[in-house]
């Protein structure tokens, strides 16, 4: 997944998106619009754990993770071969619809 | 079909379910091979929710979209109750969430552990316990010792013949007619049918 600054800006401009984090395969933040450091760390932890699950279980590759909670914004982690894009979106948003839009933008970037 | 199977069958597109809570027996509908995978995933899922709690985040639902299109849905219902479901790609997520909540609630209440009570087809007489108050012998009623005296009638008013109801005179007349009828019975009578 090689997304450039324009692509990241397009993702940020999507309706209901409130934050975006682009991390590499080692959990390092390449781009972030999320102010909460603890949330950024948590996303990096989930992305790193995702790799471990894929290696240690026979579930196969996990393409996407959606995380929800009462009173929390939705977190969407999209996985590609070498990086992860995490998107924070408003609670009222539909993750599946937002994922389609994000994947369309990423496809254009490829 | 057990109550658990009935409740799980409501979730369209469900491929397997695993419900874990400390102090309760696990519910596992996965095959032996899949169950091994899920139990290993359980450790990771517990860590996801544990770390979220440590940073004061209330995340309690994670949906993993797998390579083959399946979803691995995990819910944290309380500190120690985790529900993992594997479903087809397109499922009604709010419905899955609410149904899972109901199942977890019943599971924690122990409703799935209870076996239906067997009813005996018949009751043997020896098993019947008669209540004490129904088993008492009837009490004998004491005889009445007091003898009531019969007083002699002192004022008897004789009723004169004209004031009587005429019962005796009617009886005499009737007897007289019967005697006559008895005398007439010797003669032969023929029935000539109803008179018009």
Q: Which domains does chain A have, with CATH numbers?
A: 5-109 (3.30.450.30)
Task: Give me the pLDDT at residue A1, please.
Answer: 53
Tokens encoding B173 = 């007349």
Does residue B28 contact residue B35 with C-beta atoms inside 8 Å?
A: yes
- If one counts every other C-beta atom within 10 angstroms of the C-beta of residue A91, the result is 13
Average pLDDT, chain A: 88
Does residue B24 contact residue B77 with C-beta atoms inside 8 Å?
A: no
Query: Which residue from B minimizes the CA distance to A60?
Result: B67
CB contact under 8 A, A60 and B66: yes
Q: Sketch out chain B's domains with CATH numbers.
A: 3-109 (3.30.450.30)
CB contact under 8 A, A61 and B60: no
Residues of chain B below pLDDT 70:
1, 114-131, 133-135, 137-148, 150, 152-169, 177-196
Task: Give me the pLDDT at residue B176, please.
Answer: 73
Task: Check residue B158 and report its DSSP letter.
Answer: P
Distance of residue B112 Cα from the nearest chain A Cα, in angstroms: 27
Q: How many CA atoms lie within 13 A of A108 on its CB side?
A: 11
Please list every residue in chain A whose beta carbon sits closer than 8 Å to the beta carbon of residue B59: 67-69, 72, 75
- If one counts every other C-beta atom within 10 angstroms of the C-beta of residue B73, the result is 23
Query: Which residue from A minimizes the CA distance to B59?
Result: A69
Give the tens place of pLDDT for each residue, B22-76: 888 888 888 887 877 888 888 889 999 999 999 999 999 999 999 889 999 999 9
Q: Does B52 touch chain A (CB under 8 A)?
A: yes
Please list every residue in chain A whose beta carbon sits closer than 8 Å to the beta carbon of residue B16: none
Does residue A88 contact residue A73 with C-beta atoms inside 8 Å?
A: yes
Q: How many CA atoms lie within 13 A of B46 on its CB side?
A: 13
CB contact under 8 A, A66 and B68: no
> Residue A53, exposed/middle/buried by CB under 10 A (0-12, 13-18, 19+)?
buried
Distance of residue B90 Cα from the nearest chain A Cα, in angstroms: 10
């Amino acid at each position: 997944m090689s997304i450039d600054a324009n692509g990241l800006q397009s993702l940020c401009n999507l309706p209901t998106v409130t934050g975006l984090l682009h991390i590499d395969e080692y959990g390092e933040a390449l781009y972030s619009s999320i102010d909460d450091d603890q949330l950024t760390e948590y996303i990096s932890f989930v992305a790193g754990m995702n790799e471990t699950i894929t290696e240690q279980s026979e579930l196969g590759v996990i393409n996407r993770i959606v995380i929800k909670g009462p009173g929390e914004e939705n977190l969407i982690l999209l996985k590609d071969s070498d990086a992860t894009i995490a998107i924070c979106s408003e609670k009222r948003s539909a993750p599946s619809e937002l994922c389609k839009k994000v994947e369309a933008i990423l496809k254009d970037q490829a | 079909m057990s109550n658990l199977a009935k409740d799980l069958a409501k979730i369209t597109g469900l491929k397997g379910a695993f419900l874990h809570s400390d102090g309760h027996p696990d519910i596992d509908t996965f095959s032996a091979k899949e169950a091994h995978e899920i139990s290993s995933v359980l450790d990771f899922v517990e860590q996801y929710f544990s770390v979220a709690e440590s940073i004061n985040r209330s995340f309690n639902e994670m949906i993993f979209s797998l390579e083959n299109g399946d979803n691995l849905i995990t819910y944290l219902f309380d500190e120690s109750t985790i529900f993992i479901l594997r479903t087809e790609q397109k499922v009604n997520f709010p419905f899955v969430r609410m149904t899972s909540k109901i199942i977890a609630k019943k599971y924690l209440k122990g409703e799935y552990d209870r076996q239906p009570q067997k009813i005996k087809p018949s009751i043997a007489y020896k098993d019947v316990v008669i209540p004490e108050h129904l088993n008492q012998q009837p009490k004998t009623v004491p005889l009445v010792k007091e003898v009531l005296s019969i007083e002699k009638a002192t004022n008897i008013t004789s009723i004169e013949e004209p004031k009587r109801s005429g019962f005796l005179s009617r009886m005499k007349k009737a007897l007289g007619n019967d005697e006559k009828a008895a005398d007439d019975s010797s003669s032969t009578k023929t029935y000539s049918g109803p008179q018009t």
